[in-house]
Amino acid sequence: AMTTREPTPDFTAQLPGDGRAGARSRELFNAALAVIPGGVNSPVRAFKSVGGDPPFIRAARGPYLLTEDGVTLVDYVGTWGPAILGHAHPEVIDAVCRAAKDGLSFGACSAAEVEFAELLCTVVPALHGGLVRLVSSGTEATMSALRLARGFTGRSKIIKADGGYHGHADMLLVAAGSGAATLGIPGSEGVPPSTVRDTLTVPFNDLAAVEKVLDEYRGAVAAIIIEPVPGNMGCVPPRPGYLQGLRDLCTREGVVLIFDEVMSGFRVALGGASQRYGVTPDLVCLGKIVGGGMPVGAYGGKREIMQHVAPLGHVYQAGTLSGNPVAVAAGLTTLQILVRDDPYPALEAIAAAVANGIAARAAQLGIPLANNRVGAMFTGFFREGDVHDYDDAKQSDLAAFAEFHREMLAHGVYLAPSQFEASFVSLAHDQAAIDHTLAAADAALAAVARRHA
């Protein structure tokens, strides 16, 4: 039944409060359980690995969320990455509203698509002089790029990293991170063995393992797909020389190097990890920030490869809502602001203040915490020693993380409900938000110390 929605109150001035699910969130979750699998439309939202029911979100502004229970939270999920400017940025909202008034979707060509593609080809290194195709999600981008790599090379095998999550296409649900890692699912039911027979996995940050697989399957590998900065096993930086080593191996073996920058694109630098580390792949996959909060993905790269995509070539890929004007308005405006304002030094400082502040407090209490950060994304792993790959990440103390997550939520800070997810800062995280976060971390880490003493 349609109900009249009350105007959203101005909540950014309120102090963050206890964000654990209250009566209204629990009522909504129970209703959702009756009509939606697990009550959620994406698995990690169910809070299975941290316990408790999820708070339902009513609205978002700047660095804050407002729950249906009327509580304000400092947000480090940022709609899983896209909210780099902060939630509901006025310029982005205005652009979306203007576009919506002219129609939500045409299923035909529009001027904004061209402007958007031109801007992408200007700022993303892999797209310089190349071609880009818009889609509606990161999953669409990665599965399309892999189909293209196979069509271009005439080979069938692909290599991915353990814990690398590249969307939920059948062939990629092997040793996947993200929600699959959180739930401890080794793959997924419903994926035929024949579908993943050509998917080969290696540890992240291990060049020797890649070289060994390429030797074993010489002439059969179409592509290596890699998150240059993984975020779905938690944030894990590439070792020095690792990405260049992949580039060199792919060039030598005629393998298409695909950077999945759905998460790192525009997040760790304007040109993504490729710009930050000075390594250019053959194809790049984009999502999250590229849509400015709307469902947008993109894949593209070298012209000689992209010319195999229909209608130029015989690798088929299509989408009714691809490049729709409302989504393009959000993405284009977001990227224009990133180009205009160069917020990256400020984002770096904000992320360092939060991540290093939490790590320093953990150290004072003697709590092992591996502090990983690249640009405006970070993860604190509850374990001794460094985290360089998925096996390292899995050595984390998940009970300690769950306790930390619950206590942070109780003190008004919303973190991703999984040890194996990155946290994200936005340009809107001001000193008040940072101060509140670190005060919450004092209380949360003290509770962890007491519980695990």
- In angstroms, how far is CA 341 from the centroid of its own chain? 22
Cβ count near 410 (within 10 Å)? 17
**Tokens encoding 318:** 């299509």
Angle, vertex CA 188, rays to CA 187 and CA 189, nearest 5: 135
Angle, vertex CA 25, rays to CA 24 and CA 27, nearest 5: 65
**Tokens encoding 301:** 């790269």
**Angstrom distances, CA of residue 416 to CA of 111, 183, 209, 274, 453:** 37, 14, 31, 25, 25
Long-range CB contacts (< 8 A, 24+ apart) of 6-15? Answer: 8/58, 8/59, 8/66, 9/66, 10/61, 11/59, 11/61, 11/64, 11/66, 11/72, 12/61, 12/62, 12/64, 12/72, 14/72, 15/72, 15/412, 15/436
How far is it, in rounded angstroms, from Cα 79 to Cα 294? 10
How far is it, in rounded angstroms, from Cα 84 to Cα 87? 8
Cβ count near 437 (within 10 Å)? 24
How far is it, in rounded angstroms, from Cα 327 to Cα 308? 26
Evaluate whether 124 touches 289 at the Cβ level (below 8 Å): no
The residues annotated as belonging to the active site are 165, 260, 288
